Structure 1
């Protein structure tokens, strides 16, 4: 278990304007305290004057310069910026995402595509300290504030809504009901018409004329709550003050290489981020819906300070909802990752105990029924209800393609996964007296998936007909050749056929023991030759993903089967027959049972069987599978002389981490050399890559089965697969007030920050300066208000800077708190779970 983060550097806006910034290195993010535009919104005047000078005439004895002055021209204009609502595309992302869940310590934030937007306007001077502009050039107060509310704080009865909207015209598009975020929708020009409420945002008929018909959202809150949120922390509440919100917004300069959306615009990008001061509910034992609003801090200078009985209407420019997870008995993502790393096991039902494997057919074992059942459970089996052919309901053994141990392929000599109805693939367990329906159910599933795919059925019917026709033509040629006039030719062909017969017997024996797992054990015949002709590409080689097949039907069949080999569209209840094998907050490893895949493919290819009344007589099906196996076993030059990548190992993850972070990063580390070559020949002799040295292997499949469940498939199993790393996604990070928040304390771990571009050589990701426990009494500093669940940004940032400077003046030279430093501290670290050789022991 480790914690890491990208290199983060904080600077102030002057470095941007001066052009002294250096290019970002890969993985770096640069933070700026603010990014004030050159021209803020509002009324501006441009004054232009011109003076023309001409040299004096040489004949003029006075030698005076002639000057003509043009009267100055003054032009007034209005610089516009959003005020009542945001432009489309202004929001890049929010966290938590709408409709998702988050821990109660999370401070929601919004990422805006315009880096100037939070500073494009300024709050009224009446609501800022008198010396605000003279204090520093490192911070600027924003006109936007992100705020979290509970539903009860904004909810109103219909009578109250009708009373407030009494004077708002009905034809203005106003809705006399609250939205899901507790807002009232109306035109911007109608906001002064709200009845019985103090409106914070004044509407100027001249300056705001163009926005008069713009729809806007208004939230109405109790005056007591408004006063507590927008007056100076610790003051008497007699004067509105929004200066503390300057610490809750900053700008991030990021490199966009490898990003699908942001990377399409430029090599790097600037985003502004606004963070909420409020957290979720503290010490709650139930999930709670919360509402987040992006509020305007441009208050009317003439508005009075609300009293307890007043209602206050504020302009909301953007809003969404999410669910706050209960803080009691709920683990955070650090604890979730830690628990996953401590509870590694293979996919099986029952507890973590691993009984000794039961060897079928071993008469020396005298086990009880309970021991036999436990042994089967250790092999990944579960009991499932099934019906006999006569209709009785009975129990049967069942497991899916994901198994806790390697399974021999084929199961025994002479056993082939080829059937016309699937029921003959069931295996009777004479020890337990139960039927193992694993492979018969896989066969039936393959047939159902094929029947549900109309193009597949049509392509298979055409391909079968083509193989049968070509095979029949070859048979006719051989028969007619026997009756030719040249007897010597007949004897020659007879001798050649004897050689083919012997070779066919050799092929039968070889196919029975093939490690690559041929789909059938029957010899190659003229039907196989016909199928191979259809499987050829336009370059006269075996068709694969990089060329064009001679038969489009074969190409479709091959692609469909390859998808099923990678478990595409296989229902989750077949992958995990027993939900008890994958409890909540678990990570389970598994092998792939190739016999199950063989049964699935055979069931799909059994359709359109018009000639083979027994499985061994279905020559077309046998030929198609042999042709596909020929491709899968042929070393591929494009893969460094290796075969097509096939899934052999994987893991299932079920955790609330996937709900909060759907793009969780999975990284697989493979050994430099494989334990042995896949093919008998050791790979392609023409390849420059040694047979046991694979190229860089990707994750074959990474797919979600449910919002909290995901599985990954790899082409190698331990020991070739050395490590698996689970990492929190860098673009889905969040801000948290601290590591632990209860009614008794707030625990904050201080990151080790630097004001230099490059930290010391001894700096390591995850370095900290220890932690501090803050109490509701205000000790050691009043950084958090437990009754309002709000952070005091000024006090917290001051305490942070002092803590960073203790004995580290050279590494951290700032004496003044800024939003960039606060953003670095609140930014949740990128955690990762590194699973090394420990999971190899779970085989």
Structure 2
């Protein structure tokens, strides 16, 4: 196992795999340092040569900053078991996943070897904590000075506070009864086995606003949760604290001296609680299985897992026509909503958002619309309105108007395009600029014409005596007035030459390029539905009940209407509308490219944003048909899985087995996850994240032994189970004389190494923290759906 990974793990490790490392040591541990340099001048090269004058001395004090009394709340990526959860956790070792892979090793422990973490995870019960009765996890809030103040009843750490920590800085701490601390706290020599570093590919995870380089630190508790005896229905509350042991090195021994104190004070950097039951209640497997059930407990079929309302009527022969029409509408994802017409009549209209249970055919009019009314659908047979695309248009328009920066860029872009078209039209109709010998238009401006004269040896011509003109000069005759000025301008705007010139101007400048990129970026986010209100996506809560998973397609026409509404602001005439349509294909193509690369941009793996020239290459200037060339699908998950496993892994597989690109994966609420996929998946898998796999034992305290040799004699892969019957009894190595089940690492490691040697038939070498983690990792839970609407397996 490598002690210090040197590569970006998120991209080099296959999705679904993990790498385990003993630790990730910083080049220099956090603390206050002093650098002193002396220099002496001598009369000769010999060491005993006489020193000239006094030695020169320079001193520099500096501090390597690192968390000491508190950590950023975003540093904690996952807690297992999840906060406020309940389940059969008696056989699970709690652990915490940290986004900073160096955090547990950034500080040093006095008297401990390198690689010893300063953090530990303590699993406690209410009766083992002193004070803090007003907080759910029994923490006490105060300042650094209050925490370190001498107390005859409380043992405080011998903490050397760094220069960047003030006495008035806030902190949170706990007080643990001295005897209970000795029972549950790891010994100084055991600490390094209870923390390790993991590498994982983060491409199948939501972006949580951290530096997701794929490396994570994991701190594991050495105590199994307290739980009632088997057969009981009573849950036991367990409280977990991530504590700093810095300054408490003297009491991390077998026979500590508490100096007459009855409790020990520890800095609490993170905390949570959960309830452990003898029988499983709501762990990952149960929650995932619950997604496949209807409210009455029956197995949900394919039809129940689409994002739509359940129809009370059947779409079958024999059903009355009105009811059958309602059933068809509901099955297609529509919802009846109140609608007030412009004339003031109260009626209802059908509405369907961009997330649909069917694949709608794209409609050209959605991308060509200039008003919302043009997109209102009316069914004369049933006298009903379809307000879906009209709502999309108005939504895009309202969002654009609400963003002042976007509106300014869009208006400036349109003004620059208007000015450029005027210039092009004047050049095409003016007879004051000379033409070349083939009758084609010559220089486009007076300045360019004067430059042509300079290129034609103007000075030589001026020095030559003028000859007598052969014919009298007459001024050019004015051009004949156009019979239909409006039609002439319309024909000019629709000409291929004008389209090509405008497209080229997007890349060359002329006031267009500087506004093009901000427009494309804003519209790209709009295509991914970032600013769209959730009620426009899911108009009825019954479509996404609690503890449910719903699949959908994304309606390309709805997205086209959304962009049409956003691009409609600032159009004041039919000429503006036509001009907007000319550049619309390039703008929409650029927005689609931004949307496709948006997630990679957030993760820092995308190339530069597409410029106008790239968008022009992929857009047909005469194409007014929408934005989405490829189908987009996705899922909405509303479940405690989202809050309990915030970095839940979601993988969509293509029919050939490759993973589909993820366009968006975000938490819309603490319990709601939205995923958009570039394509239609053949399989969708929800899984525990690789860096958050559970630790623990199987029934009767056994763990299956896994291969530690990269090139084993039996052809096993690294980490693969050696055999179903090759196990190791972890519960044979618990501390004696304690009320809880606390691992005796000093006994466990030698016995585990002997068992691994015997199972491999050869020596596996020293067993380190990563090796122990590999053996204690429980098989991750996952649920897989065959297709966006398939059954789980």
TM-score range, shorter chain: 0.5 to 0.7
How far residue 646 of structure 1 moved from its aligned partner, in angstroms, is 4.9
Q: Describe how 1:88-487 pairs up with structure 2 within 5 A.
A: 93-94=75-76, 96=78, 101=83, 104=89, 105-109=92-96, 113=102, 120-122=109-111, 145-150=120-125, 153-156=128-131, 181-182=139-140, 185-187=143-145, 193-195=150-152, 197=153, 199=155, 201=157, 219-229=174-184, 242=187, 245-246=190-191, 248-249=193-194, 252=197, 274-279=219-224, 282=227, 290-296=240-246, 297-299=248-250, 311-316=262-267, 318-324=268-274, 330-336=281-287, 347-350=306-309, 367-389=320-342, 394-410=347-363, 418-420=369-371, 422-423=372-373, 425-429=375-379, 433-462=383-412
How far residue 445 of structure 1 moved from its aligned partner, in angstroms, is 1.2
Q: Which residue of 1 aligns with 2:607?
A: none
Conserved 8 A contact 1:227-1:305: no
Work out whether 1:761 is the aligned partner of 2:715.
yes
Secondary structure at the aligned position of 2:662 is classed as: coil
Match of 1:526 among 492, 497, 506: 492
Q: Which residue of 2 aligns with 1:86?
A: 68
How far residue 409 of structure 1 moved from its aligned partner, in angstroms, is 2.9
Conserved 8 A contact 1:224-1:306: no
Q: Deviations over 1:391-425 (max 9, x none)?
A: 565543211011111212328xx8986354x3453
Work out whether 1:601 is the aligned partner of 2:563.
yes
Cα distance between partner residues in 1 of 2:202 and 2:665: 22
Cα distance between partner residues in 1 of 2:7 and 2:523: 48
Cα distance between partner residues in 2 of 1:155 and 1:393: 64
Cα distance change on mapping 1:117 and 1:249 into 2, 3 Å: farther
Cα distance between partner residues in 1 of 2:411 and 2:788: 49
Q: Which residue of 2 aligns with 1:128?
A: none
Conserved 8 A contact 1:144-1:295: yes
Q: Which residue of 2 aligns with 1:62?
A: none
Match of 1:702 among 665, 677, 691: 665
Conserved 8 A contact 1:382-1:397: yes
Cα distance between partner residues in 1 of 2:69 and 2:740: 31
Cα distance between partner residues in 2 of 1:23 and 1:415: 47
Conserved 8 A contact 1:185-1:218: no
Cα distance change on mapping 1:118 and 1:425 into 2, 3 Å: closer
Conserved 8 A contact 1:403-1:591: yes
Q: Which residue of 1 aligns with 2:471?
A: none
Conserved 8 A contact 1:198-1:306: no
Cα distance change on mapping 1:157 and 1:696 into 2, 3 Å: closer
Conserved 8 A contact 1:121-1:143: no
Conserved 8 A contact 1:101-1:325: no
Conserved 8 A contact 2:340-2:346: yes
Cα distance between partner residues in 1 of 2:201 and 2:731: 43
Q: Deviations over 1:75-101 (max 9, x none)?
A: xxxxx999x983898999546469973
Q: Which residue of 2 aligns with 1:515?
A: none
Q: Describe how 1:14-33 pairs up with structure 2 within 5 A.
A: 27=13, 29=19, 31-32=21-22
Match of 1:610 among 572, 575, 593: 572
Q: Which residue of 1 aligns with 2:577?
A: 621
Cα distance between partner residues in 2 of 1:461 and 1:838: 41
Q: Which one is further off, 220-229 or 179-188?
A: 179-188
Secondary structure at the aligned position of 2:362 is classed as: coil
Cα distance between partner residues in 1 of 2:521 and 2:26: 55
How far residue 448 of structure 1 moved from its aligned partner, in angstroms, is 1.0
Conserved 8 A contact 1:355-1:378: no
Cα distance between partner residues in 2 of 1:595 and 1:38: 56
Conserved 8 A contact 1:350-1:580: yes
Q: Which residue of 1 aligns with 2:37?
A: none
Cα distance change on mapping 1:785 and 1:569 into 2, 3 Å: farther
Cα distance change on mapping 1:334 and 1:770 into 2, 3 Å: farther
Q: Describe how 1:684-723 pairs up with structure 2 within 5 A.
A: 698-717=661-680, 722-723=682-683
Conserved 8 A contact 1:669-1:723: yes
Q: Deviations over 1:200-232 (max 9, x none)?
A: 7569xxx999999978976422345235336xx
- In structure 2, stretches of 5+ residues that fail to align are 32-61, 229-233, 293-298, 432-474, 594-611, 620-626
Cα distance between partner residues in 2 of 1:23 and 1:244: 29
Secondary structure at the aligned position of 1:536 is classed as: helix
Cα distance change on mapping 1:753 and 1:608 into 2, 3 Å: same
Cα distance between partner residues in 1 of 2:194 and 2:331: 54
Cα distance between partner residues in 2 of 1:218 and 1:478: 79
TM-score normalised by the chain length of structure 2: 0.62
Cα distance change on mapping 1:178 and 1:386 into 2, 3 Å: closer
How far residue 299 of structure 1 moved from its aligned partner, in angstroms, is 3.2
Cα distance between partner residues in 2 of 1:439 and 1:796: 65
Q: Which residue of 2 aligns with 1:61?
A: none
Cα distance between partner residues in 2 of 1:599 and 1:261: 34
Cα distance between partner residues in 2 of 1:294 and 1:437: 59
Cα distance change on mapping 1:555 and 1:178 into 2, 3 Å: closer
Cα distance between partner residues in 2 of 1:609 and 1:313: 71
Cα distance between partner residues in 2 of 1:286 and 1:532: 75
Q: Deviations over 1:590-619 (max 9, x none)?
A: 2222222233233334433433xxxxxx34
Q: Deviations over 1:647-706 (max 9, x none)?
A: 621212414444344444555555789xxxxxxxxxxxxxxxxxxxxx998433333322
Q: Which one is further off, 334-343 or 428-437?
A: 334-343
Secondary structure at the aligned position of 2:250 is classed as: coil
Cα distance between partner residues in 2 of 1:306 and 1:828: 41
Cα distance between partner residues in 2 of 1:624 and 1:390: 31
Q: Deviations over 1:620-653 (max 9, x none)?
A: 2243134212665799996998668656212124
How far residue 826 of structure 1 moved from its aligned partner, in angstroms, is 2.9
Conserved 8 A contact 1:149-1:290: yes
Cα distance between partner residues in 1 of 2:25 and 2:406: 58
Work out whether 1:752 is the aligned partner of 2:703.
no
How far residue 452 of structure 1 moved from its aligned partner, in angstroms, is 0.7
Cα distance between partner residues in 1 of 2:737 and 2:566: 64
Cα distance between partner residues in 2 of 1:701 and 1:791: 42
Secondary structure at the aligned position of 1:293 is classed as: strand
TM-score normalised by the chain length of structure 1: 0.59
Secondary structure at the aligned position of 2:245 is classed as: strand
Q: Describe how 1:500-579 pairs up with structure 2 within 5 A.
A: 525-528=491-494, 536=502, 543=506, 550=512, 552-553=514-515, 556-557=518-519, 559-579=521-541
Cα distance change on mapping 1:147 and 1:572 into 2, 3 Å: same
Conserved 8 A contact 2:709-2:718: no
Secondary structure at the aligned position of 1:277 is classed as: coil
How far residue 459 of structure 1 moved from its aligned partner, in angstroms, is 4.4
Q: Which residue of 1 aligns with 2:39?
A: none
Cα distance between partner residues in 2 of 1:474 and 1:705: 48
Cα distance between partner residues in 2 of 1:638 and 1:479: 31
Conserved 8 A contact 2:547-2:640: yes
Conserved 8 A contact 1:178-1:184: no
Cα distance change on mapping 1:440 and 1:390 into 2, 3 Å: same
Match of 1:736 among 690, 695, 700: 695
Cα distance between partner residues in 1 of 2:117 and 2:791: 56
Q: Which residue of 2 aligns with 1:648?
A: 631
Secondary structure at the aligned position of 2:176 is classed as: strand
Cα distance change on mapping 1:527 and 1:564 into 2, 3 Å: farther
Cα distance between partner residues in 2 of 1:534 and 1:452: 33
How far residue 723 of structure 1 moved from its aligned partner, in angstroms, is 4.9
Q: Which residue of 2 aligns with 1:46?
A: none
